[in-house]
Amino acid sequence: MGNRMCQPELLKVLAMLCVLAILPGCNDDDDPAPLDYAATIADGRAAVQQALVDTDTPSASVALIDGERIVWSETFGYIDKATQTAPSPTTMYGIGSVSKVFAAMATMKLVDQGKIDLDAPLVRYLPDFRMAAPEYPQITVRMLLNHSAGFGGTDYRNGFTNAPVPGYAAQVQQALATQRLKHLPGEMAVYCNDCFTMIEPLVAAVSGRSYTQFVVDEILAPLDMTHSRFARAPFPAGSFAPGYTGGRADPQEYTNAYATGGLYSTPNDMAHLAMMFMNGGRYGSVRVLSASSVAEMGHDQTQQLLFNPIPTFHWGLGWDGVAQAGLAAVDVTTWHKNGGTLTYGSDFFVAPNERLAVMVTGASVKFGSAQLAERIMLHALAERGRIPAVPAPLPDRPQSEQPATEADLAAIVGDYAQFEALLRIEALPDRSLKISIYSNGVWTEIANELKRRIDGSFSSDTAPNVAYRTFSGEGRRYLVARRPVGLGHYLAEIPFGQRVEPAAPLSAAWQGRVGQRWLAVNEDAQSIPLVQGTAPPRFALDAVDGLPGYLFASSIHTGSQIVDPAGSDTLARMFLKIPVNFGRDLNDVVIEPRDGEDWVRYGSTLFRPQASVTVLPVGDSAVTIGGEGFAEWRKLPAGGAVAIVGASAWKLYDADLKLLASGSGSGAAGTAPAGAYLVVYGAPNAVIASMLAVAP
């Protein structure tokens, strides 16, 4: 009969409880001391310190929250390596996409006030919102918050800069007005930064305040988050943790997508937010959100999706998931949000029923904040006795082999595309598989001797927990990857790629563009990829042997993305429909004729042909910025010294577009080799003087 007790046993238990109730030391005044989590803290401290060493992360900060208590708050590393200055509990870190939780809260605050209906069309509140797709009026507010609107993904132009660039949200809305949908509104959920960026104009239109001001007034101030702010101006020196490039501290990072990822905070401030969630919307005596809004944010938003074949993430509103898999494996419900910028990595976990939370943040995206957060939570649960022990990693034990048939091989062999990669699966003579990845014109093997197992997946004997299989859905064939995640005690499966089917050959117009290169003209000079020179500021179109009819587009912000140019000589379409993460950040390639040339628009970034860049003459000359304010490129015919007068900014690249020097205003740009490129920035119609002195 399960756990039911018979009558005599029940009476014994009741009698015992009565005795216990009158014994000394069993009343509220003599409760045992709160758990100090000493073992959890010791393990977590060692794990964070090791992670910083392993990944050369300069600093990090952690807080563990139990109910109303911050039971552990500690910082690690240095915010100034030269002086060995450690971060303090008030040192701010960019929390990246953890900011999306605040965007969802701002929206739900307006829902509480009766000003927004989650399931109303976005155009009810933003009547000037447009897209180049007839279905855009079907996009609802909820679809912005659960990643299902159907936008291409992320407008990276001017997203991360070394100086504030106002108007990023307006830039995104203007770009969306010219773009198609990747999938029908509400059809599927694919991680989408632009969805949350559109929360900014929504909140502004409904509340009458800017998004950032609304968050400050309605969320940060009531939660007493006094060391949390958006990077709209330079922070005081020493108030934030910088990233490092080698031994040099990086300048302050500005994430101009405020709702998507623009907030700086501290783990101690985030503890206040965790307490609010654990208390159903209250922080102390202040109600920040209604209990129903908190519950709705923590509700699985994927249940009604039309296409969600492998529910890897159970998206909430603003949350990456409302059932973090590593904690779900031990039967603990945990809401979680990851955040990453070019400089920072963060993870925020809240287990509302356990009244337990953790915030981990650091000045690097490499130090494994998600695994650290999961580890700290599991150790805390074990120490308080909620789970018997921290679970051990899964054993590396191969399943029994079941030789692949011709049909099995036909179902999985082929080329599969992701948002930034192309995979090729080939059958070997022994009917096992190998997988290669394509990059820079070269195929590199990443897995081999994958044998078919009794569950239908393919895995190797050396890494048996990493497995691949395929399935068909909505007329497409998908590759699925399964592998250990977090502390390795559970497996996660995710749609990993979409099979690329044969296509007709390229048209003559597109064939003529294969191998061409274009240069960015409307990226802000303070864009971090341009300042750091991490990628050439160009766009490229290439073809891949074995895939006639497709093109691979590469730009400063993304890796190679496959596009389909069939049916148009001026539009190569994004076409992947992969749920969750590997179908994110897609763009159409749009050809824009300008002055007899083919320019390229990719997302909102505009590129001009590299082959037709004007030569900078020897001696004195002038460069005029056009009426649209686009950067002007010049090629140096010979090596020599370059001087600039009147530019707002300039950059000097070698022939391979490796950054040599950069600056602002007037001055010497330095000496450049023959074939180098100079790019100058200025106001529309500005005239910039330049001088090239040829080296003797």
Token readout for 617 is 């003459």
Domain ranges in the chain are 38-383, 406-499, 508-609, 614-694
Tell me what the pLDDT averaged over the chain comes to: 93
The second-level CATH assignment, the architecture, of 614-694 is Sandwich (2.60)
Q: What is the pLDDT of residue 692?
A: 81
Q: What angle do CA 385, 389, 394 make, to 5 degrees?
A: 150
Q: What is the pLDDT of residue 13?
A: 30
Q: What is the pLDDT of residue 564?
A: 97
Ranking 71-80, 140-149, 306-315 by mean pLDDT, the lowest is 306-315
The 3-class secondary structure across 320-354, one letter per residue, is CECCCHHHHCCCCCCEEEEEECCCCEEEEEEECCC
Q: What is the pLDDT of residue 696?
A: 52
Q: What is the pLDDT of residue 638?
A: 84
Domain 38-383 and domain 614-694, same fold? Reply is no
CA distances from residue 517 to 19, 174, 283, 514 in whole angstroms, order as listed: 84, 25, 55, 9
d(CA 194, CA 340): 15
- 395-428 core/surface letters (b: 16 or more CB in 10 A; e: else): eeeeeeeeebeeebbebbebbbbbbbbbbbbbbe
Token readout for 412 is 């999985």
Q: What is the arithmetic mean of pLDDT over 319-340?
A: 98
| pLDDT tens figures, 218-262 | 999 999 999 999 999 999 999 999 999 989 999 999 999 999 999
Q: What is the arithmetic mean of pLDDT over 196-214?
A: 98
- Please give the DSSP secondary-structure letter assigned to residue 616: P
Ranking 101-105, 172-176, 412-416, 439-443 by mean pLDDT, the lowest is 439-443
d(CA 416, CA 423): 5
| Reported pTM | 0.94
- 53-75 core/surface letters (b: 16 or more CB in 10 A; e: else): eeeebbbbbbbbbbeeebbbbbb
The radius of gyration of the chain's CA atoms, rounded to the nearest angstrom, is 28
Percent of the chain at pLDDT above 70?
95
152, β-bridge pairs = none
> Would the pLDDT of 313 be above 90?
no
DSSP secondary structure letters along 29-67: GGPPPPP--HHHHHHHHHHHHHHHHHHT--EEEEEEEET
d(CA 349, CA 332): 12
Which residue in 502, 458, 497 sits closest to 477, CA to CA? 497
CATH superfamily of 38-383: DD-peptidase/beta-lactamase superfamily (3.40.710.10)
CB atoms within 10 A of CB 486: 22
> Would the pLDDT of 263 be above 60?
yes
Q: What is the arithmetic mean of pLDDT over 654-683?
A: 91
CB atoms within 10 A of CB 249: 17
244, β-bridge pairs = 249
CA distances from residue 499 to 27, 413, 420, 545 in whole angstroms, order as listed: 65, 9, 14, 16
CB atoms within 10 A of CB 4: 7
| pLDDT tens figures, 537-589 | 999 999 988 899 999 999 999 888 999 999 999 999 999 999 999 999 999 99
Yes or no: say if 255 and 341 are a contact pair by the CB < 8 Å rule. Answer: yes
Banded pLDDT at 333 (limits 50, 70, 90): very high
Which are the contacts of 209, defined by CB distance < 8 A and separation ≥ 6? 203, 217
Q: What is the pLDDT of residue 671?
A: 85
> Would the pLDDT of 444 be above 50?
yes
d(CA 324, CA 334): 5
> Would the pLDDT of 8 be above 60?
no
> Would the pLDDT of 17 be above 80?
no
Yes or no: say if 274 and 126 are a contact pair by the CB < 8 Å rule. Answer: no
Q: What is the pLDDT of residue 30?
A: 55
Q: What is the pLDDT of residue 71?
A: 98
Ranking 18-32, 160-174, 485-499 by mean pLDDT, the lowest is 18-32
d(CA 391, CA 387): 9
Q: What is the pLDDT of residue 12?
A: 34
d(CA 675, CA 636): 5
147 exposure class (CB count in 10 Å sphere: 0-12, 13-18, 19+): buried
Q: What is the pLDDT of residue 693?
A: 81
Q: What is the arithmetic mean of pLDDT over 205-220?
A: 98
Which residue in 372, 314, 378 sits closest to 351, CA to CA? 378
Q: How many residues does the chain have?
A: 696
d(CA 275, CA 265): 16
d(CA 258, CA 198): 10
> Would the pLDDT of 400 be above 60?
yes
CA 330: distance to chain centroid? 27
User: Any alpha helices (H) in 601-660, and if so which ranges?
Assistant: none
Q: What is the pLDDT of residue 545?
A: 85
| pLDDT tens figures, 457-476 | 999 999 999 999 999 999 99
| pLDDT tens figures, 358-391 | 999 999 999 999 999 999 999 999 999 999 999 9
> Would the pLDDT of 6 be above 60?
no
> Would the pLDDT of 88 be above 50?
yes
CA distances from residue 437 to 413, 456, 585 in whole angstroms, order as listed: 14, 23, 19
| pLDDT tens figures, 146-199 | 999 999 999 999 999 999 999 999 999 999 999 999 999 999 999 999 999 999
Token readout for 583 is 């179908």
619, β-bridge pairs = 692
d(CA 568, CA 586): 18
d(CA 184, CA 177): 16
d(CA 110, CA 118): 10
Which amino acid, 369? Answer: S
